[in-house]
Structure 1
Amino acid sequence: MDQEREENNGFGPIPTPRGRRAGVSYFILLAVWLTFWFLAWLVEKITHIMLGLPMQPFSGERSMFIMATFFLLTVIYGLLHSLVLFVEEWKHINSRHGSRYQAFQRCLHFKFPVKGPIPLVLFAVLLSLHVWWMVQTGMFTQLLSQYWELLVLPAGMQLFTMSFLMKPAEVEVMERVEGANQNVAHGLAWSYYTGYLEIVLPGLCERIEKSAWKEKIHPTARRLLVLIPLKCDVRAKLEDADSNIKNVTADLSEDEGLQPVRKDSAGIKGRVYKNDVHCITDPDDAEHTEYCVVEYATVAKTLYDMQESKACEGFSREAREQQVKLLYCTLKNIIEAGGYRDQVVLVPFDITDAEDHKLAKVILQTLEQLKSGTIDMP
Structure 2
Amino acid sequence: MSQEEDRFHAHSFIPRRRGNWAQHSSYILIALCALILYLTEQSIRHVAQCFIIHFVALQVGALFKGICTFTEEVHHVSARYRGKYFKALNACLDLRRHGLLLLLCGAAYLLLPKETGLPLCLKLSLVCLCQLLAIVFGLQNPSAAEISELCERNNLNVAHGLAWSYYIGYLKIILPRLKDSISVFSENNKSLLKCKKTWKLHILIPLNCEVYDNLWKADSHIQFINNLPEVSVDRAGIKRRTYKNSVHGILDENQKMHCCVVEYATPLQSLYAMSQDDSAAFSRQDRLEQAKLFCRTLEEILGKSKECSGCYQLIVYDDSGENDKHFLSKEILRHLKQQDREEYAMCEKEEGCIRTQNCRPVEETELLISDYDQPLSLHSDSN
Q: TM-score, normalised by structure 1?
A: 0.81
Tell me if the contact between 2:58 and 2:131 (Cα under 8 Å) persists in the aligned partners. Answer: no
Structure 1 pair 27–214 and aligned structure 2 pair: CA distance change class (3 A): farther
Mapped to 2, the partners of 1:262 and 1:172 lie a distance apart of 45
Tell me if the contact between 1:264 and 1:271 (Cα under 8 Å) persists in the aligned partners. Answer: yes
Tell me if the contact between 1:243 and 1:357 (Cα under 8 Å) persists in the aligned partners. Answer: yes
2:208 is aligned with 1:234: no
Mapped to 2, the partners of 1:206 and 1:300 lie a distance apart of 27
Other-structure match for 2:236:
266
Larger Cα-atom Rg: 1
Indicate the larger mover: 98-107 or 222-231.
98-107
Q: Percent identity?
A: 33
Other-structure match for 1:222:
199
Mapped to 2, the partners of 1:92 and 1:356 lie a distance apart of 53
Other-structure match for 2:381:
none
Match of 1:153 among 126, 148, 160: 126
Match of 1:298 among 259, 266, 270: 266
Partner of 1:345, secondary structure, is strand
Tell me if the contact between 1:85 and 1:107 (Cα under 8 Å) persists in the aligned partners. Answer: yes
Tell me if the contact between 2:309 and 2:365 (Cα under 8 Å) persists in the aligned partners. Answer: no
Other-structure match for 1:4:
none
Mapped to 2, the partners of 1:14 and 1:91 lie a distance apart of 41
Indicate the larger mover: 230-239 or 207-216.
207-216
Mapped to 2, the partners of 1:369 and 1:163 lie a distance apart of 58
Other-structure match for 1:193:
167
Mapped to 1, the partners of 2:153 and 2:290 lie a distance apart of 14
Mapped to 2, the partners of 1:65 and 1:229 lie a distance apart of 58
Other-structure match for 2:177:
203
Mapped to 1, the partners of 2:336 and 2:151 lie a distance apart of 35
Match of 1:91 among 64, 67, 75: 75
Q: Following TM superposition, by how much is the alpha carbon of 1:136 offset from its aligned partner in structure 2, in angstroms? A: 5.3
Output the amino acid matched with 2:191: E
1:99-135 deviations in whole A, cap 9, x for unaligned? Answer: 2222222222x6xxxxxxxxx4365244224324434
Structure 1 pair 330–300 and aligned structure 2 pair: CA distance change class (3 A): same
Count of residues paired in the alignment: 332
Q: Following TM superposition, by how much is the alpha carbon of 1:214 offset from its aligned partner in structure 2, in angstroms? A: 4.5
CA RMSD of aligned residues (A): 2.4
Structure 1 pair 142–121 and aligned structure 2 pair: CA distance change class (3 A): farther
Tell me if the contact between 2:313 and 2:366 (Cα under 8 Å) persists in the aligned partners. Answer: yes
Other-structure match for 2:359:
none
2:246 is aligned with 1:246: no
Structure 1 pair 354–294 and aligned structure 2 pair: CA distance change class (3 A): farther
Tell me if the contact between 1:218 and 1:291 (Cα under 8 Å) persists in the aligned partners. Answer: no
Q: Following TM superposition, by how much is the alpha carbon of 1:19 offset from its aligned partner in structure 2, in angstroms? A: 1.0
Match of 2:53 among 45, 49, 69: 69
1:291-325 deviations in whole A, cap 9, x for unaligned? Answer: 00000000011000111112112x11111111011
Mapped to 2, the partners of 1:316 and 1:218 lie a distance apart of 44
Other-structure match for 1:162:
135
Tell me if the contact between 2:182 and 2:228 (Cα under 8 Å) persists in the aligned partners. Answer: yes
Partner of 2:17, secondary structure, is coil
2:26 is aligned with 1:20: no
Output the amino acid matched with 1:160: L
Indicate the larger mover: 349-358 or 328-337.
349-358
Match of 2:86 among 101, 115, 138: 101
Output the amino acid matched with 2:274: M
Tell me if the contact between 2:203 and 2:263 (Cα under 8 Å) persists in the aligned partners. Answer: yes
Other-structure match for 2:150:
176
- The answer for unaligned runs of 5 or more in structure 2 is 1-6, 344-361, 368-383
Output the amino acid matched with 1:100: Y
2:356 is aligned with 1:356: no
Mapped to 1, the partners of 2:18 and 2:237 lie a distance apart of 41
- The answer for unaligned runs of 5 or more in structure 1 is 1-6, 42-57, 111-119, 250-256
Q: Following TM superposition, by how much is the alpha carbon of 1:76 offset from its aligned partner in structure 2, in angstroms? A: 1.2
Q: Following TM superposition, by how much is the alpha carbon of 1:138 offset from its aligned partner in structure 2, in angstroms? A: 5.9
2:103 is aligned with 1:128: yes
Q: Following TM superposition, by how much is the alpha carbon of 1:205 offset from its aligned partner in structure 2, in angstroms? A: 1.4
